[in-house]
Every structure is written in C-alpha cells, then in structure tokens.
Chains A and B, each alone.
Chain A
Amino acid sequence: MPHAEQIDPIRFEVIRNALSEATEEMAIALRRSAYSTNIKTRADFSCVLFDSRVRVVAQAFAQPVHLGSLSLLVPRMVEAYGAENLGPGDAILANDPYMGGVHLNDITLISPVYHNNTCLGYVANLAHHVDVGGGSPASIGAFREVFQEGVIIPPVKLVERGELVTNIFDLILAQIRSKREMAGDLRAQIAANNTGVRRLCALADRIGGDTVSFYIRELIAYTERRTRVEIRNLPNGDFSADGQVDNDGFTDRPVHLAAQISIQSDQICFDFTGSDVQRSAPVNSTAAMTFSACAYVLKCLIDPDVPVNAGFYNVVQMVAPEGTVVNCSPHAPVVGGWETQLRLTDVMLRALAPAFPDNIPAGTKAMVCHAGFGGIIASTGEYYCFLETLGGGYGGRAASDGPDAVQTHGQNTENAPIEETEINYPVRIVRYELVENSEGPGKFRGGLGLRRDYLFPDHEASFTILADRDRKGPRGLFGGKPGRIASYFLNSNGKTVRLGSKTTVQLQPGDIVSYRTCGGGGYGLPAERDPERVLRDVRNGMVSRERARVIYRTEIDTEAWRVNDGETMRLRSEIT
C-alpha cells in the first residue's frame, strides 16, 4: 500500500523506543514467571518482534547466541505452517533444527499480532528447556543422530484462539522427564507473547496500524544505513584463521574449523569453506547457529548503539557449505552445535586480531561447558533434571587482563546458586573456586578457570558432560601463552579417573564429578608484564611465586609483599 506519510524524525524515535520496550516487557514477563532456573536465573531465552513480512523489528535477549538465529528460524516456521492458517489468539510452537532451528532444547513460540483484522506482525520467544526427552537427562550428550536428542517439534498450534491445545501440550509433555518445569515454562512463554501482542496493539490503537508499519519499515532501513556506515569505517581486507574443537565425543579426531572474513567497503562476508564435513557426533552447528556467531562478531566491531533488527542482519553475509559442521544437513545430531559455534567465534576473532589489535582478546573459554544430570528423587519418585553451564577464563586484552571465571562470546548465562540447587535437587556442590595457575601468561594474562565439584549423596544419577578444551587450551595472542586446558574427573570409591569432554556416566551414591574449566589465553609477552600486576596475582594466590619467577620473570618478596626490583631486572635481562 503506498504511503504518503513523510518521515517525522521525532515520531520515528518515539516509535522506535516503544517497539523495543514492547520486547523488553515480553522478556520481563517470561523471565519472572518461568519455572526453571535456566530461564529465570540464567536468562537463557530471547524475545523478538517481527513485521508482517516476518522481518525482525526489535529483539530483547540476554544471550548473544540468540542474536540472529530467530531471524532465520521464525520466517521459515511461519512459511511452513502458512501465515494464512494463523489467526488472532493463535500461537505455534517449534524446535525443528532442520527447519531453521537450533538445538532441540531451544523451543520457539510464535504468535501473530492482529489489529483490526490486519496482521501487524508477529511476536516470538525462544526459551531453553532443561529437558526435551531423548537419550539422557537434560537432553545433552554424545548421540549419533538427532532423533536420539529429544522430541522434534515441527510448527504446531499450541494455542488456538487463546485456548491451549491440550492434545499437543500433553503429547509434548509425555516425551519429557521434568514435566512440571516444562509445563510452567511453556505457560510463561505464552504469557510473554500475550504481553507482546497487547503492547503492539496498544501502540497501533494510539497511532494507527499503518503508521506503525510505516515506521517499522523506516526503522529497518535506518538500521541498515547505520550498519553500512559502520562497516565502511572498518579496515578493508581479507582475514583468515583456523582452529578446532578438540574431539567429537566418539573419536579423538579434532574437528577442523576455518574462517575467512572479508571486509570491503560497506560489505562484510563470513566464509567457513574448509571446515570439516559434519559428523555423527555432537559437534554440528546449524546454519542459524553459525549465522548468530557472525552477527555477534559484527556487533562487537561496531557502535553498540546500532539497533538489532533485519536491517542489521541483512548486512551479514555468510558462506557456510551445507553438510559441514557449520551448516549440518539432516539427520545429524545438533546438541553440541553451540560448542562448535562458540569455538568458531574464537576463530573469527583470531582472524581479525591483526586488523583490530586493540580490541580483540586472546583465546577465551569458547565452549558452552554443559553439566547436565538427572535421576529419580527417592522420596517422591519424581524424575528431576538439572542443567547448568560453567564459566572459564577470558582472553587477555591490549590493555587489561582477561577476567576470571566468566561466560564468553555468545553465552552469558549465570551460575545456579548453590543453595537454591541443593534445596531443589538431590545434589551437593562441594567445591566452587578458581583454578590457581590456570591463566594463560601474557603481558596481560588470561582469566582463571573455575572448579566445581558435584556430589550425589543418595541416589544413582545420570551425569552428562558436554564440553571441550581438554586437549588444547585457549591460544595466546601476540606472544601470550595458552591458558591451561580444562579437565573433567570422576571420583568413585576413593579412585579418581579422568572423563572425556563429551561423556555420560551412571553414578553411584557418593560419587563426585569434578569440572576444572580452562584459563584464558595471554596477550603479549609474559616477561613484559607489569611487576605490580604479578605481585597482585601472587598475593591473591592466583599465580604461584615460582610461576611468577619462571614465567613472568618477576621475583616477589612474599614476606614484605613487594616486587624485588633488582632480581626482577636480572631475570628479565636474561631473556633479552
């Protein structure tokens, strides 16, 4: 419909704010009313507003891995279901990774927004459900094909004219171990979409549906304009790097990842040609997952004020050959895809390091590092499932150390409070601390990894580690050294054995599973580290005195807590 309205820059800004507030309100509704710790405390979800052509208009999320994935997923789901089959008060649910989705745990709910019988657009939210059935509690593990990973949901109507479709709801719940949590989380997802629908309709009531649509189009054009201006300001060139996921969970063969990034004028293209072919193992990323890594990297390079919507995504060009670990085809398993996706982000940043030496960090944890477990609660007979992901070291930067024990890149989920975990689940956390001396040495050191030990006092739990980094630590940059590798242990009957990074184990009462996550890579030469920083690390027990002497060439007087300047100078002169 032709629209004669002129763009009013003031109205534009007012509407832009209202649209992003609408998605923020959806996020608040979802977060607060969800049942699972994973959604509430760990904020593993995303809320998006789409226009009538199913283009992203505004997005609220705490996890950058959700950047972009919904922009591919929702249009395909709506198309597959048929926009004409969606009426007011309807909502469709889906998680099929081969219809644009990600891993099965991330379930998306999509609702059309009708205003005066016209479809203004769609609201959608994606939430990570702790369990979606499949071969092990929390639905993570080393599987050979996607069918083992849990229930696959093609787009189906979960809500019809405002009423829950109980057949579908019950069918899905029947596949799930932790039913009550999932039922509560799905209700929270419905509440979030209802909030979004209400807000968008209220806006259309105030200013008219046509005006909303007009300014949405303008907002997308504005965003693309700004994104292109930002890219034009980046250094031109072709940048490449490669890296690996350490193993695939079935074989020791590393998974090769290759990234070439080309920046020319106002275009940026991410090309992963040369990455390994997909495997029957938990290392395959879907196209939507890989796309979100590209979007994340671009977002890190440009003005944070640029909004995220279709105008931004339009600019992200990706070449990800089908049938590879960065764009897998049916019926490869996808649960480990985020491990690959995060590592790929590290590889891309490494490629860009020479062009952006002041901004790019050394290698980071760059793995999800899942801990999932479940079993039967003896007193109630109820099946419980638990999932969390552990932080590790960040990479050193041009002017600062890498922070200790944090989530990296696309992942920013919180830790589950120990007390809350012990109240709700039959597990005891017996240690939670930094891993001393795990940092990658550098002029600016990498962050320390962390240790978390899980004890199961009274039942036979099933425990799954889905992680990586136990062969190679995150790489150093510009002379910095790699961070210490991660390691995973089982302590059973007083004996400690090493576990693989992608393993499911059946535990006996009293067993302990221990995670030690990797440190971040260092930046610059360790011997150039400011001795005062070395002193602080030694005093804080993060780095040993010996390590300070041998690696950082710094002598610390641990009586007076001072740098021994003379000895430090001597040590440093030896190497130059």
Chain B
Amino acid sequence: MAYRLGIDTGGTFTDATLIDEETGDVHVGKVSSTPRDPSLGFMEATRRILDKAEIEPIEVGYIVHGTTVVTNAIIEGKTARTGFITTGGFRDLLEIARQIRPSLYDLQFEKPRPLVPRYLCFGVPERLDARGNILESLNEKAVSAAASQLRREGVESIAVCLLHAYTNPVHEQRVGEILRRDFPEAMVSLSSEVSPEFREYFRASTTVINACIRPVAARYLENIQARLREEGLTAQLLVMQSSGGVLTFGAAAKKPVFLVESGPAAGVIAATYLGDTLGHPNVISFDMGGTTAKAGLVQDGRPQVTKDYEVGATAQAGAGGARGGGYPIRTPVIDLVEIGAGGGSIAWIDPGGVLRVGPHSAGADPGPVCYGKGGEEPTITDANLMLGRLNPDYFLGGDIALDAEAARKAIQQKCADPLGLDPVEAAHGIVEIANAAMVNALRLVSVQRGYDPREFVLVAFGGAGPVHACRLAAEMEIPTTLIPMSPGTTSAMGLLVTDLKHDYSTTFICQVDKLDLKEVATAFSNMEKQGWAILEEEGVQDKDKDFLRQVDMRYVGQSYELTVPHSGTEFTPAGIEALLVRFHREHDRTYGYSAPEEPAEFVNLRLSAIGRIAKPRLRSLDSNSGTPALKTSRPVYFFERNGFVDCPIYDRYTLAAGNIVNGPAIVEEIDSTTVIHPGYRGTVDTYGNLILTGE
C-alpha cells in the first residue's frame, strides 16, 4: 500500500496525480473529462496513470476525488425529485426565498426557480419558540398525510426544515421517524442534522440542496466504488469537501452538500501544504486557469473559510455582494475570490473606446486565436504569446502548436488599430488590465480582510498562474513567490495532502457575560461525540484524532458574525476572556474598529473533527549549485526594458536544487511557463519549487 492517487474532475480535464509514499515520486496525467458520465473519465485517468507508473491496482492505498458532480447537477437541473416539509404557514419559504432580484436594472430578471416545486412542499402544524419551547405540538397525522402524498408523487428524497429546529430538533426528529416508517424508500435530510443554524431560509435551502443531490451523489459514488473494485482497487475511497478536508464516500453520500466546491478547495489545500513544508504558514494562493483566476488566503496554516455561499449563482457581485442569483448554502466553503480572468478571457473595446478584458472567455473551445481552432477574439493567452512569453512550439509540451501570427493579427485588428496603438502596446495593455483585475482579487482576500500581503507568500499555479505571478507579487509588494512543480496539476496534488474532516455547528445565542460554561462544554461535547464516532468508524487512531473548536461571535445587536478560534478543550472563565480578546482583535482587523466596552455574544458553536492522515514526503532534487543549463533564447517583451530583449529560456526539468535563474528569464515546463521579470531571481529549492524574490 505505498501509493496515493488523486483524481480531480474538472470541466475540461480530469487530472490524476499519483504519489509514492516512500520516495515522494510523483506521476501526473490528464484525460478529457466525460461530463455525461464523469465516472468514465475517472476510470480512464486511473487506468492510464497506473499503466504509466507501472504499478498494480492493489498497491494504491487510498484514492481522493475532487468532483463537480454536485454543482453540475444543480446548474444543469439534474437533481432528484424531492419533497419539502416545514412548519404550517410557511410552505412558501423556498418560493419567496429572499424576496430580492438578483440583478438591479434587468427588467427581465428571474428569481432562481425553487428546487422543489410548490406542490411537493408541505406545511405541517407544529411550532417552537425561539428558545425551543413547544408552542404547538406536532400534528403527526399531517406528517403521515404528507408522506403518503410524496410517495404517490414518486419523490426519492425529502428535506425537512421546521422553524427553530436548530435549537430543539425534537419535532424534526419525530418527522424523520414518521417518514422512515411510512415511506422507508425515501432519503430523509433533517435541517437539524445537515446545518443546525438559525435563519430559516438559509437552513432550508442548505437542507433542500442536500436532499435533492443525495440520490445523484450516492449513485455516482457507488458507481465509482463498484468499478474500482471490479478493477482490483481495494484502496480507501475519499472525497474532497468544500471546506478542505476529506470525507469517506459513505459520509459524503449522506451529506453531499458539503461537496459543492470540492475541486477549487484542493488548490488552496495544496498551497497550504507547500507553504507549510517550507515553513510559511501564511500563504496567498493564486490559481489561474483557462476561464477564471481564483485567489484564496491561508493564515497560520488554515485556509479562510466562508459560510456565505451560493450555488449556481450567476449574478454580478456588488455592494458587498448583490445576491439572490443562486441557492444559498450554510456549510463551510473555502473562501475564494474568483474573477473572469483566465488565459481564454477575451480582450475587447467597449462602446466608450476603452480596452477591456473578460469576463467573456473563449474557454477551451474554440479557445484563444492562437490555438487555431476557430477562435477569432484575442485573449490573454494570445497577448502573452505575442509578447514572447509563451513558446509556440512547446505549449502543453508541444501538444498544441500555437499560431503566433494569427494572434498578432487578431490583437492588431480588434484592439490595437481601433485605439491607435502599436500591437505590442495593445498586447502589453491586455496583460496589464488582466493583472489589475487579478491584483484586485488578491487585495480582496488580503487587504480588504485586514491582512498585510507583505507578510504572505504567494503560491501561484494553474496553467497560467506562473506567467503572471511575478508582476502580481510586485504590485502587491509580496516579497516571495512560490511556483510548484507541474503547476497545472497542483490542485490534484492538493487532494493527497489533506486530512479527514467533519464539520459540525450548532446555534447557541448567549451574551458572553451570561454564559453557563457547563452548557457550552456540553454543546461542544455533543458535537465531539458525533465526530468521535464517525472517525472511529473510519478507523482513525486516537492519536490522530483532533478537534478544533470555534465560536461565531458578534456585538449584541449586530447581525453578522465573526468566527473566532477557541484554543484548548476546556471552557474556563480565563479561556472565555481570551476568546473575547481575540474577538475584539478580529473585529478590529476585519472592520477597522472594535468596541470592547460593548457586550458581545456567542451565536454559533463550531467543531471540526479531524482525522490526521500522514502526508507524503516530497521528493528532493539533486543539488547543484552551478548555473542552470540554458535551453535557448528568444525575444520577450518586458515593459521595464521598454521593449523586447533577448531573453534566456530554461527547461524546468533540467533545473537542479540550488540553481539560480536571474530575470529576465523564462522557465518552461509541459503544463506551464514561469516568467521572471528583470529585477527578480528564481531559486530552485530542495523540492524543485521555484522561489521568486526581488533583488
């Protein structure tokens, strides 16, 4: 059992990464994704990489999967037929949603259509108050009637969300029992189990998403499991969650709502791991692919996580997030700022005569003009090619021959001529405008949230990330940039370096000076028991179990909470005092002020149950302090030098640990290109990472 396999299913490609736990040797592979049945691409990627590495199926100890199957099911409307049961008088929670329009000036706007049609929504008489006291007992006959109606309607799955069930689940649990008794074939998701936090629409929406993708996710995961077993793979099967940890297939099939951002989370986890191995717990991750760029932030080895997320949203951001275009979920998701600036983003002139880049993308098909697949609109990739940064004969290792002349023509006709610019100026402009948008994204995750980027290391990956990283770091004054080996498959690598993780939360609204510490401890220990049990089931040894406690806090009267970590396991007055100090500090960092004289309160308690998994060793490179072997040279444009210079080109695979590459220089590898600007130098570290620093 010496190998780990990561399979990351993306929109275009399915990436495989195989790592030898003993030696740290890594194999990577790519096959086309198979959107109709993603398990085909999964199996193809698995077979190929096993062949390539010449290992037997039995030798793979565990497999981690990053998947978009959940998100796609929602976006494509391929969710299961689902019923919804709520408190009588509130049947239209999903229809009314937030009563807002997702776009402000579009007279043709639509609200997202509820995932459960109104005739499958039922209100049953019952009512709790805000403290969980029963005002009206549950009408069990009404539940039975709803169950038989839902059965007649042929639903596969049922979501239950009763008012105030986050504080007292007694009625929801009873509804669950009745449904299982009267309609045992249906899968039942209770809001008090999926996401027991107050604010009914958000909890209901989270529960409904869980319910309506459960049958889809269960079938998908079971299918993959069966195929793997058929081919002799006995490995433990895990799947990446949106919050960064992994779940077993079994746990994931019950709570698939935790998988919505499975793929993108892996990139941040990889960046976290790389930072960690090099002693940098504070990292900004920057992942730039074909259609978008994503920025995330890691502090003290922990990726920032948000609970404010919408699935399937297409609306524009604005005013701190104009929303309502998708379906909100309240499970933790790694906080990423995503912008429409990828290699395929299109440059255009707007009606006011200004050069713009994105958000429209040529995607992978037809792709940039230089791909020669029918693309006619100039893109960021075309601009980089024109500036000499990309090698037309070595794109994806030569798999795609790039047509530099076509790129130049498109930029000249569509951008340069209308603006009266030289085509090179226009290409440089395209790159600079894209860089500005990416700098904004990087500022949003750092400066805007109160972090000083100068205290972070930039980890840049994705096919296009290393092309832009040096400039972005300069703009952000980030002193150190790390370019991992094979940046195009960094996300898949992230799958292999994470821990088992189960997230729990519970609403616990209480002013800090009125806390009953025993109650706090009990609430946490209830969550811990659940986490402990599931980690046991997954075969995690006690020494590898870890429990992180966090509290959502706010000033009394506020309605937005900050999540503050609680150190240690005990709840003493001193511990609470320390928590309070941390809260004031966090508030000050985030919003620029704190009010220590104001009363603060607890809102939600959060617990992450973690099962540590040993991390694979990275392979060390041979060391060589000499100068690296030059591959070739070609003219490359650098604005710092006011034009093209004859720029040395290096082959990444021939670089040895300790090599230093002074900018201007280009380092090429199969799936990416690193641009080192004048005034910067790249140093190859023990693991083959390229570390860029200013001189």
Interface residues of A (CB under 8 A from B): 9-10, 12-14, 16-18, 21, 24-25, 27-37, 40-41, 43, 45-47, 60-62, 64, 180-181, 184, 187-188, 190-191, 194-195, 222-223, 225-226, 229-230, 296, 299-300, 303-306, 349, 359-361, 390-391, 397, 399-400, 403-407, 412-415, 417-420, 422-423, 428, 430-434, 450, 453, 539-542
Contact = CB atoms under 8 A, between A and B. Distances in A.
B352 A226 contact: yes
A40 B225 CA distance: 45
Contact of B119 (A29, A180, A414, A540): A540
Contacts of B100: 406-407, 412-414
Given A61-B319, A62-B104, 19 more contacts: A9-B429, A10-B433, A14-B436, A33-B591, A34-B560, A36-B559, A43-B320, A45-B319, A61-B318, A64-B105, A229-B352, A399-B108, A406-B100, A414-B100, A420-B559, A430-B89, A432-B90, A433-B89, A539-B119
A433 B355 contact: no
A300 B101 CA distance: 14
B91 A433 contact: yes
Interface in B308-336: 317-322, 324
Interface of B: 89-93, 95-96, 98-101, 103-111, 117-119, 129-130, 163-164, 166, 198-202, 317-322, 324, 350-356, 419, 421, 428-429, 432-433, 436-437, 440, 443-444, 448, 509, 555-560, 587, 590-593, 595, 598
Nearest to A419: B198
A391 B96 CA distance: 9
Nearest to A181: B557
23 contacts: A9-B421, A13-B355, A31-B319, A35-B557, A41-B559, A43-B320, A46-B319, A184-B598, A222-B352, A226-B350, A229-B351, A229-B352, A304-B106, A400-B110, A403-B111, A414-B98, A415-B98, A417-B198, A417-B200, A419-B198, A432-B96, A453-B89, A540-B119
A40 B107 contact: no
B626 to A, nearest CB: 39
A24 B318 contact: yes
B101 A412 contact: yes
A47 B352 CA distance: 25
Contacts of A194: 592
B429 A450 contact: no
Ordered nearest first, which 8 A-B pairs have the shortest CB separation?
A391-B99, A10-B429, A33-B591, A540-B118, A31-B320, A226-B352, A62-B319, A14-B436
A187 B595 contact: yes
Contacts of B560: 31-34, 40
A453 B88 CA distance: 13
A121 to B, nearest CB: 20
A349 B108 CA distance: 13
Nearest to A229: B351
A41 B320 CA distance: 11
Contacts, number: 224
A112 B99 CA distance: 36
B98 A432 contact: no
Contacts of A405: 92, 95-96, 99
A432 B119 contact: no
B555 A35 contact: yes
A190 B318 CA distance: 20
Contacts of B440: 17-18, 21
Given A40-B560, A64-B104, A542-B118, A419 B164 contact: yes
B355 A9 contact: yes
Contacts of A195: 592
A100 B214 CA distance: 55
A397 B592 contact: no
Contact of B593 (A191, A226, A404): A191
A62 B100 CA distance: 10
Given A17-B436, A18-B436, A40-B560, A184 B555 contact: yes
A98 B592 CA distance: 33
A450 B593 contact: no
Contact of B591 (A61, A191, A359, A420): A191
Contacts of B448: 25, 28
Contacts of B199: 417, 419-420
Given A27-B320, A404-B96, A431 B559 contact: no
B108 A404 contact: no
Given A9-B429, A222-B354, A60 B319 contact: yes
Contacts of B117: 539-540
A406 B111 contact: yes
B14 to A, nearest CB: 35
Nearest to A542: B118
Contact of B99 (A10, A226, A407): A407
A35 B353 contact: no
B130 A432 contact: no
A19 B587 CA distance: 25
Contacts of B353: 9, 222, 225
Contacts of B106: 300, 304
Contacts of A431: 89-90
A420 B198 contact: yes
A417 B201 contact: yes
Given A13-B433, A37-B559, A450 B96 contact: yes
Contacts of B320: 24, 27-28, 30-32, 43, 60, 62
A412 B509 contact: no
B680 to A, nearest CB: 19
B559 A35 contact: yes
Contacts of A299: 105
A13 B432 CA distance: 10
A191 B320 CA distance: 14
Interface centre among A9, A62, A64, A194 (most CB of B within 10 A): A9
A179 B173 CA distance: 41
A306 B432 CA distance: 22
A433 B92 contact: yes
Contact of A296 (B105, B317, B324, B555): B105
B319 A434 contact: no
A412 B315 CA distance: 14
A294 to B, nearest CB: 13
B348 to A, nearest CB: 11
Contacts of A407: 99-101
A430 B119 CA distance: 21
B583 to A, nearest CB: 13
Interface centre among A184, A188, A305, A432 (most CB of B within 10 A): A432
Contacts of B111: 403-404, 406
Contacts of B591: 29, 32-33, 188, 191
Contacts of A10: 355, 428-429, 432-433
Given A18-B436, A222-B354, A432-B96, A359 B107 contact: yes
Contacts of A229: 351-352
A444 to B, nearest CB: 11
A305 B317 CA distance: 13
Interface centre among A303, A390, A422 (most CB of B within 10 A): A422
Contacts of A46: 319
Contacts of B321: 28
A360 B118 contact: no
A377 to B, nearest CB: 13
A386 B555 CA distance: 18
Nearest to A40: B559
Contacts of B164: 419, 422
B383 to A, nearest CB: 12
B351 A303 contact: yes
B386 to A, nearest CB: 15
A64 B103 CA distance: 11
Contacts of B200: 417-419
Nearest to B108: A397
Given A400-B108, A407-B99, A34 B436 contact: no
Contacts of A230: 351
A180 B355 CA distance: 48
Interface centre among B101, B199, B448, B559 (most CB of A within 10 A): B559
